[in-house]
Structure 1
Amino acid sequence: MSDGAVDLKAEARARAYSIPLDDINVADPELFKTDSHWPYFERLRKEDPVHFHPPEHHEQGSFWSVTKYNDIMAVDTNHGVFSSEPAITLFDPEDDFTLPMFIAMDQPKHDVQRKTVSPIVSPQNLHLMEPLIRSRIQNTLDDLPIGQPFDWVDRVSIELTTQMLATLFDFPFEDRRKLTFWSDVATADKTSKHFKTDDPDTERKMYLFECVDYFTRLWNERVNAEPKGDLISMLAHGEATRNMDRMEYLGNLILLIVGGNDTTRNSMTGSVYAMNKFPDQFAKLKANPDLIPSMVSETIRWQTPLAHMRRTALQDIELGGKTIRKGDKVVMWYVSGNRDDEVIENPDAFIIDRERPRQHLSFGFGIHRCVGNRLAELQLKILWEEILQRFPEIQVVEEPQRVYSSFVKGYESMQVVIPSRL
């Protein structure tokens, strides 16, 4: 870490512990853009692990922050009290632009829609997809320049996850970067570079309507054909999904696009970044490639590609000594729970041979646990198997540019250099 980075880290820590507790707002996207959120969460875990934020902290009103591992688990596994409706982020849907999706549904509708698409990530199907995933990763890595800086996010992380998404949807391969764009637009802050006008809300809706129009053409082709194994065919022929209206179709598309994109994309980048911050762990991995599966789980914990999920209380309930009222928003900060030193030893360190590497919150728990978690792990595992066969090292040459978001904890770009091939 450079002296400048050390100074910024010390400055963030000093501020986090100097301001009044009630002034801490961990939903501020700027904290994530600057990677300075860590000491704020540390303080909340120590001093007020179930913390109330007043309305002025967010444009959508007051909310609770749950920051400790076991409290998050208590919320995530109690879907009878903590509802996923109407949304799983702090932003409530607009009356004229509501996007139903199964992650933001309660029982019983959640289960039947989830079961419609879950066969695509069954163990048998993942086994069938593995050769294709490996060949694409091999081709992508073989095309990377040697000795020249390039953006790992664009050339590797986005490209590989977008190719995978195109396969899952059986989406026209030449248009696959549309999937990346729609994913980014769906989750982007209003200040994002993706918006070119002074009315980003209207612009976002326009882009998402373009998304559903494109996918409706694919739906119409597949609903009149024999059922196949891609996601659109599954939705078109599924008993619980074949009668969705346009907005529910769009909602589930956005869920599947973002879910299949952001988690894996940012873990792929985060793994390279972590290996640079902890070179002893990279040396350990090169000496023992059998540690790759453990390293994958540790990456997903250490990175935590989605920082939070939100629930809404269906009744009054006590949590951590606080009374949460019916209708209150409750935010589970996975990014904080994954650094809870009462549960995970030395949590800020990246340790690829932890005793329990899968002990993390990044995929969620309970009925809403990430449906594609095994696919994400498989892609990351194969990526590092192929990296170790090609490159002695991948050097991160400057601090990555991070996403301005308190939901997607990710990377806009990361410049790297590969000095040589093996």
Structure 2
Amino acid sequence: MATTAPDDTSTARPIAPVDVSDAALYVEDRWHEPFADLRANMPLAWHPESPYGPYWSVSSHRLIQQVEALPDLYSSARAITITDARDDVPFDNFIAMDRPQHTEQRRVVQPSFNPSEMKRREGEIRQRVTELFDGLSQGETFDWVEQVSIPLTIGMICVLFDFPWEERHDLKRWSDWASEVTPDQSDERTALWMEQMMQMLTRFDALLEEKRAQPPGDDVMSRIIHSEAMGQMPAAERMGNIALLIVGGNDTTRNSMSGFIDAINRFPDQLKRLHAESDLIPNAASEIIRWQSPVTHMRRTATEDAELDGQAIRAGEKLILWYISGNRDESLFDDADRFDVARENARRHIGFGFGIHRCVGARLAELQLQIYIEEIVRRNICIEPRGDWERLASPFLHGFTKMPVEIVAE
């Protein structure tokens, strides 16, 4: 890995044959071949034109980790998605910051996700999962995303934030808007986005002020408002952090839960193996994060001229780290397109990122997925597709918006 400025003798940039930021690739599930081609022939490829402007595609597991290991050279502060941040939308958050500010703010929320806290939450998660599955109908078609994946993840967010349960549908709507990545940067679209974010800001500010007047608690909002690093930050920055935690705790786990249903329908032998070897369930949780890749990409921006994999990177250029591709890298994962609950290196996935920006809530996501998979295995149910499944139209998050299914007893 080199961090020195490139010279003028650098070879011509390899031009990517397909714009992998095209949302149609993910809606239509056509992303596998373009990324396999990039990994094999140009794991660092230049896209001179796209609806989001020019960018570098980083598609191999090795190069993604290499970039993430150099956070001072490849910055998160400009933006964390392929969309360029607008100057008139000032919602900063700690994942879109560099050291030392990133470290200070991450330290505030990290205790909410440490091992002892997860142990304390386990019984509550298990109870919620059990109660939800008890209420599911057999022999009737229903939407798995709407009735299972969303309620389970939104419910956990309500617990972590001590957010009113009766307002949970607002959380889901705000999360969907906060995670939107689209080339439509028109004033009209931005105004709609800002309207939702301001609603979220107003509601959370009221809740935070209630927390400020109370003794410190162990929920995320209390930790934020009573901390030195985050308690006095500007409202917009505080809101950016809350939006980040909502999206991270909702969308990524939701999409992995839905992805598991997709995986066991494509590879039914793997569910049978979990019935026979339930000790593989923790590994299956890691494997579904690898196989599904609920976060399609993250973005870094070069802070200075540098060289990466023999290519000249110019200061200010954006590098898109395609986690969805790195998690299917055949040089690391044998038969990478297969969902394999016994995969020995499943935990080497980069679904949570790598380095200092690795997802702060990774332990919670893994715990939720383990309990969710345990419940499916324990009940010995078969979840069969009914009708067409619809995928998320986004190059940022990877999942389903609609999954009509029917539960059939084995």
TM-score range normalised by the length of the shorter chain: over 0.9
The alpha carbon displacement at 1:188 in A equals: 2.6
CA contact (8 A) 2:79 2:299 kept: yes
The alpha carbon displacement at 1:92 in A equals: 2.1
The alpha carbon displacement at 1:198 in A equals: 9.8
CA contact (8 A) 1:33 1:403 kept: yes
1:299 aligned to 2:288? yes
Task: Please give the alpha-carbon distance, in whole angstroms, between the structure 1 residues aligned to 2:119 and 2:399.
Answer: 28
Instruction: Give the secondary-structure state (helix, strand or coil) at the position aligned to 1:311.
Output: strand
The alpha carbon displacement at 1:315 in A equals: 1.5
Task: Please give the alpha-carbon distance, in whole angstroms, between the structure 2 residues aligned to 1:239 and 1:109.
Answer: 12
CA contact (8 A) 1:190 1:201 kept: no
CA contact (8 A) 2:83 2:182 kept: no
Task: Kindly provide the CA deviation profile for residues 341-384 of structure 1, in whole angstroms up to 9, marking residues without a partner as x.
Answer: 11111100011101122011101111000000010000010111
Instruction: Give the secondary-structure state (helix, strand or coil) at the position aligned to 1:375.
Output: helix
CA contact (8 A) 1:190 1:200 kept: no
1:58 aligned to 2:47? no
Task: Kindly provide the CA deviation profile for residues 243-276 of structure 1, in whole angstroms up to 9, marking residues without a partner as x.
Answer: 1111101110110100101110000010111001
The alpha carbon displacement at 1:391 in A equals: 3.4
Task: Show the counterpart of 1:365.
Answer: 354
1:77 aligned to 2:66? no
Task: Show the counterpart of 1:159.
Answer: 151
Instruction: Give the secondary-structure state (helix, strand or coil) at the position aligned to 2:379.
Output: coil
CA contact (8 A) 2:181 2:395 kept: no
The alpha carbon displacement at 1:392 in A equals: 2.8
Task: Show the counterpart of 2:107.
Answer: 115
1:32 aligned to 2:32? no
CA contact (8 A) 2:15 2:45 kept: no
Per the alignment, do residues 399 and 342 of structure 1 end up closer, same or farther by CA in structure 2, a change over 3 Å counting? farther
The alpha carbon displacement at 1:190 in A equals: 5.5
Task: Show the counterpart of 1:289.
Answer: 278
- TM-score, reference length from structure 1: 0.91
Task: Please give the alpha-carbon distance, in whole angstroms, between the structure 1 residues aligned to 2:284 and 2:182.
Answer: 35
1:217 aligned to 2:209? no
Match of 1:168 among 160, 165, 170: 160
2:37 maps to amino acid:
R
1:376 aligned to 2:368? no
The alpha carbon displacement at 1:150 in A equals: 0.6
1:158 maps to amino acid:
I
Task: Please give the alpha-carbon distance, in whole angstroms, between the structure 1 residues aligned to 2:180 and 2:306.
Answer: 33
1:231 maps to amino acid:
V
Q: How many residues align?
A: 396
2:196 maps to amino acid:
Y
Identity of aligned residues (%): 43
CA contact (8 A) 1:83 1:314 kept: yes
The alpha carbon displacement at 1:65 in A equals: 0.3
Task: Please give the alpha-carbon distance, in whole angstroms, between the structure 2 residues aligned to 1:75 and 1:191.
Answer: 25
Task: Show the counterpart of 2:79.
Answer: 87
The alpha carbon displacement at 1:324 in A equals: 0.6
Instruction: Give the secondary-structure state (helix, strand or coil) at the position aligned to 1:310.
Output: strand
Match of 1:265 among 227, 251, 254: 254
The alpha carbon displacement at 1:30 in A equals: 0.9
Task: Kindly provide the CA deviation profile for residues 17-64 of structure 1, in whole angstroms up to 9, marking residues without a partner as x.
Answer: xxx96441000111111110111111111111100111x3123x2110
1:145 aligned to 2:137? yes
Instruction: Give the secondary-structure state (helix, strand or coil) at the position aligned to 1:199.
Output: helix
Instruction: Give the secondary-structure state (helix, strand or coil) at the position aligned to 1:358.
Output: helix
- TM-score, reference length from structure 2: 0.94
Task: Kindly provide the CA deviation profile for residues 119-175 of structure 1, in whole angstroms up to 9, marking residues without a partner as x.
Answer: 011111111111110110001001011011111001010000000000000000111
Structure 2: where are the runs of 5+ without partners? 1-13
Structure 1: where are the runs of 5+ without partners? 1-19
| Correspondence list, 1:329-348, <5 A | 329-348=318-337
